[in-house]
Amino acid sequence: MASFGNAFSSSIGKKLIMGITGLFLILFLIVHCFINALIFFNDGGLTFNIGAHFMASNWLIRAGEIVLFVGLIAHIVQGARLTFQNQAARPVKYAVTNGKANSKWYSRSMGLLGTLLLIFLIVHLSNFWVVSRFTGIPTVDANGHEDLYAVMKETFKELWIVVLYTLAMISLAYHLLHGFASAFQTLGWNHKKYSPIIKALGVWYSIIIALLFAAMPIAMYAGIIN
């Protein structure tokens, strides 16, 4: 009889983990994007710093951060294993790859898009998370809150970082475009009436989240928000 461990290292088990952690990350990105979008108040970061302060001081959110990192690592590890497993299943490529007929290019490139996102994440966490949790935010704003907004402004003065973030957000859009509908499908939430609605919701979600995120470094670099 297959053990519990075996069930999760099977192909279906890996996809289940991808689906569950993926849905959790989809929810995280909504909250993360919404809090960050407070910079568009263009009030020198006062509103954004209130949001960031709330996130940093709320114990429930801090506990959620542990779940977030465990989920993120599980998602990355299982994603890499699935990609290698799919490649190993067909070491000799098809003579004619009529991929277009079967799936979208970004569905077949989840590994590549995910790798680009991984590079982004390493740079991103060292830009902000390491500063806010470990090395310390050097200044406070007019309300006496730690000025994470000033760290953002400083970070997005660098053109290569703005370019990296923008490219990563294009990858994120495609990654989400596949991932959103795929997560629901893997978890077996298939319904004649609701599946097309979920698919449309996924398209809107992917485009809005990626556009909003990409607008942040670009608007700061261009001086549209100060």
Q: What is the contact surface with ligand HEM in residues (CB under 6 A)?
A: 32, 36, 52, 55-56, 65, 117, 124, 128-129, 132, 148, 152, 165, 172, 213, 216-217
Cβ closest to ligand HEM, residue 65 vs residue 154: 65
Bridge partners (DSSP) of residue 140 are 146
Q: Minimum Å distance from CB 146 to ligand HEM?
A: 9
Cβ closest to ligand HEM, residue 172 vs residue 225: 172
For residue 23 the two structure tokens come to 């849905």
Amino acid at position 160, single letter: W
| Interatomic CA distance for residues 40 and 21, integer angstroms | 29
Q: Minimum Å distance from CB 80 to ligand HEM?
A: 16
Residue nearest to ligand HEM (CB): 132
Helix (H) or strand (E) holding 68, with range, is helix 59-89
For residue 138 the two structure tokens come to 């050097």
Q: Minimum Å distance from CB 56 to ligand HEM?
A: 5
Q: Minimum Å distance from CB 121 to ligand HEM?
A: 6
Name, in order, each residue with C-beta under 8 angstroms of 33's C-beta and a sequence gap of 6 or more. 209, 212, 213
